[in-house]
Amino acid sequence: MGIVETRVKSFLKENADESPVAPRVGIIMGSDSDLPVMKEAAKVLKEFDVSVEVRIVSAHRTPELMFSYATSARERGIQVIIAGAGGAAHLPGMVAALTPLPVIGVPVRASALDGLDSLLSIVQMPRGVPVATVAINNATNAGLLAVRMLGVTDTTIQARMIQFQEDARDTVLEKTERLEK
């Protein structure tokens, strides 16, 4: 087993457990160095009880794997793909070009340019090939956006999202109340 595979396996063991049920969200990233950022998406999805799979798929280093991952995802039951990459971050856009599934891009801060390179690489897609781009390093929002997408046709998941929003609102209101005292 290679060192990258070992890191991914141990991450899964500690955090996300690839669920025994078929994954609904595919979380992919260009390198295992993206894991500290991208694991937040897996965490969120786990909290919402959404099954995930996590893979290292590099547009530049494993282009054939990227092609087969993107072209087979839909028939394997994946409904949303979250793709994170840094630097010349071509993974989300290339995957979006190869699948009809919604793709959420996470710009990872990975280079001397503080993540701006990743952000622009992911967000500046040509008309016709959308990637829903979240903020630099904000894999949490990518997970939450995937939950919202699934919630459109899954009322159980949508109910969890409504609860999540109500909890967030209550937290802010409680803090405000405390300040006023």
Q: Residues binding ligand RP5: what is the number (CB under 6 A)?
A: 11
Q: Given the rule CB under 6 A, which of 23-31, 39-47, 70-78, 155-163 is the region that contacts ligand RP5?
A: 23-31
Q: CA–CA separation, 174 vs 23, rounded Å?
A: 37
Residue number with CB closer to ligand RP5 (85 or 150): 85
Region 50-89 residues binding ligand RP5, contact defined as CB under 6 A:
58, 85-87
By beta-carbon proximity to ligand RP5, the closer residue of 22 and 113 is 113
Q: Which is nearer to ligand RP5, 86 or 151 (CB)?
A: 86
Residues 28-47 contacting ligand RP5, CB under 6 A = 29-31, 33-34
Q: What angle do CA 31, 100, 137 make, to 5 degrees?
A: 35
CB 149 to ligand RP5: min, Å: 23
CB-nearer residue toward ligand RP5: 50 or 85: 85
**Between vectors from CA 53 to CA 50 and to CA 59, what angle results, nearest 5°?**
130
CB of 17 to ligand RP5, least distance (A): 23
Residues 105-144 that bind ligand RP5 (CB under 6 A): 108, 110
For the bound state, the minimum distance from the C-beta of residue 115 to ligand RP5, rounded and expressed in Å, comes to 10
For ligand RP5, which is the closer residue by CB, 86 or 143? Answer: 86
**Where does this chain bind ligand RP5 (CB under 6 A)?**
29-31, 33-34, 58, 85-87, 108, 110
